A and B are shown apart, each in its own frame.
Chain A
Amino acid sequence: MIMKKKTAYNITFGGIGGQGTIKASELVGFAAMYEGFHVKKSEVHGMSQRGGSVESHVRFGKKIFSPLVAPGQADFLLCFQGDEHYRLKPFLKTDGVDLMGYLKPALDMIENPRHLNTALVGVLAAYLPISNASWQKALKTVFKPSILDGNKKVFRDAKKLVK
């Protein structure tokens, strides 16, 4: 399932304020850094807590210039919500992977709705050339101890959703 070696991996995330979009991109950013990649992650978070659209871009590889993914260049599109998916669809490459199909299975899998972002990153992880050790380190960095174990479990289970 893991993609062939590329010079850069481009991921676009979309959701609305409060869904954990930025946290999801944060998790991927840390994991890529721990794996030894050069990483850039960009988002605008001025209004993110006020229910507005939230969009985040993560790019990693040997050397990354632009912090933004160009339209039609995202290898992966990870959205938490239908309207945002429609809005950000133009970012996806023609042969890119749209993770929207995993939204429902992920929702069905989790018990705590706050785990949706970790579940979808777990799905994404199945496609990325990042070791489990780096993911575990990233999970530990991003989540505080009281909620770490719950997120680790969801991350592990979500990987299995990818056939």
Chain B
Amino acid sequence: MAKKTTLKKAFLSGNESLARGAWESGLSVACAYPGTPSTEILEAMAGYKELDVQWSVNEKVAYEVAYGAAVGGVRSLFACKHVGLNVAMDPLMTSSYAGVNAGFVVVVCDDPDMHSSQNEQDTRWVGIYAKLPVLEPSSPAEAKEFMAEAFKISEKFDTPVIVRLTTRISHTKEDVKLGKRIKVKPIKLEPNMQKYVMVPGNARIRHAFIEKRIEKMQKFAERTKLNKVEMNDTKLGIITSSVTYNYLKEVYPDASYLKLGFLYPFCDEKIKAFSKSVKKLVVVEELDPFLEEHIKALGIKKAKFKHPSFRLGELSPGVVADVINSNAKNVKKRPGRAPRLCAGCPHWVTFSVLKKLGLFVAGDIGCYTLGALPPTSALHTCVCMGAGVTFNEGLRRAHPDGKIVGVVGDSTFVHSGVTGLINAVYNKAKGIIFILDNSTTAMTGGQQHPATGWTIRNEKTKRLDLKRLCKACGADNVDVINPIGHKKELEALVKKRIDEDALSVIIAKDPCVLMKKKK
């Protein structure tokens, strides 16, 4: 007699639920660099002892290691935030050509409304650009279910699969039913140069293959249960996806829905049939007009779309009625309190010195970006990871005698600052690069990186010595100073170095106060 087993429930965030789903699907290897709102995916995976997980030095490296494992024959995963995917675009574009051996899933967490990001880019377009399938769960519980499908799709169609979450799914918690881990046999690794050596002759053949793959996946999009029709009252039909579906269900419980979970390639026949079956048809999506442009191209005249003002920011249950009625955005929000550097943070001292000396400060992504806000107001550029180093060089090429410095964090320096330093040395740039070393990846909640000497599972590993690294790169001076209690010394050092005909690195080193508290 079959035993009745009650499945356990857990209260999981979208990120934790996705991690669980990947684990249940027989995942072996997962790699990422931290980035809000995606960070907790790898943190949750580190809790499953069967998995080989790592914080990689940056997203390109993470992607290549994880993809390499998939080519090696085990199910693998790469996770990042939307802007992190930009760093990994090089391997992503050609991995689409080469395809997979065992399943490979690319998880990307977008941040509509930029709760903690420098832009609001919409990852769905990458599906079209890279010719890869895009799956979009609408809730934490679905994030788990979709992972099982994602690995199957990857292996069935010989393709990396993009799974897109947004902040409101990543950071929503829901009670989720837990399942068991399936056993997946590793697939044999055998040389297949036509498939994995992307030289022109082979890549031309693979390009033809992926065009065919798109056609096959289009047919799959028509029949997969990930694209769900819910017929209710036919007066109003809504085509939607992601968390937006849940906002709408709250406000329009009686409407009919075409809920897209397998977003790209598009299910054209399903879209056309659904549009015929309802009286009024509205397409509701967050950010860019991704579905809108395609549905317009299908020539579905009755479809209504959101007002362009809603291409900015998040949707919410409070605004969906305006979206449905194509009204302009009219959101009155009372302002919130801005974040700032923590009390006791060593960056306070460094920024107060830079401000006092009236320097132009090139910055990038990390806690120290908060140095741009009052009262320090001493950071003048922020575009992307590592640019604190390279912007110093670029600004100085425009102003060779400018009072310009660059700042970069310790984790960010390892991520993509070190290449800029090598470039600066090689091309004879001058000035000061500050490594604001708080000995952690602070902004995302304190993750380990090579210069801390600890792994994602807090196991000891070889520690990268930043001072010796900078010297090996060829910096003329490398000074290490603790800014706390040494403001005068720091000021004197900056004054001395700024006028020298040299490229200097100042490592301002004191551990993050939040990490001290944690211990």
Contact = CB atoms under 8 A, between A and B. Distances in A.
Contact of B246 (A55, A66, A84): A66
B334 A90 contact: yes
A144 B89 CA distance: 42
Contacts of A29: 11, 173
Interface in B201-245: 243, 245
B175 A51 contact: no
Interface in B479-519: 514
A29 B340 CA distance: 29
Contacts, number: 101
B161 to A, nearest CB: 25
B337 A39 contact: no
A52 interface: yes
Interface string A1-20: 00000000000000011000
Contact of B115 (A44, A69, A86): A44
Given A39-B175, A50-B340, A65 B115 contact: no
B172 A67 contact: yes
B37 interface: yes
A52 B340 CA distance: 7
B1 interface: no
B86 interface: no
B339 A52 contact: yes
The contact size tier of chain B is 35 or more
Question: Which of B316, B317, B337, B367 gathers the greatest number of chain A CB atoms within 10 Å?
Answer: B337
A80 interface: no
A26 B175 CA distance: 12
Contacts of B336: 52-53, 55, 84, 87
Nearest to B138: A65
A67 B175 contact: no
Contact of A40 (B173, B249, B251, B335): B173
A3 B126 CA distance: 48
A71 B321 CA distance: 13
A50 B334 contact: no
Nearest to B111: A46
B110 to A, nearest CB: 13
Contacts of A38: 174-175
A49 B173 contact: no
B318 A42 contact: no
A50 B367 contact: yes
A42 B171 contact: yes
A51 B115 contact: no
Contacts of A26: 173
Contact of B173 (A41, A44, A65): A41
B316 A52 contact: no
Given A52-B339, A66-B246, 6 more contacts: A37-B175, A42-B171, A50-B340, A70-B318, A73-B317, A87-B336
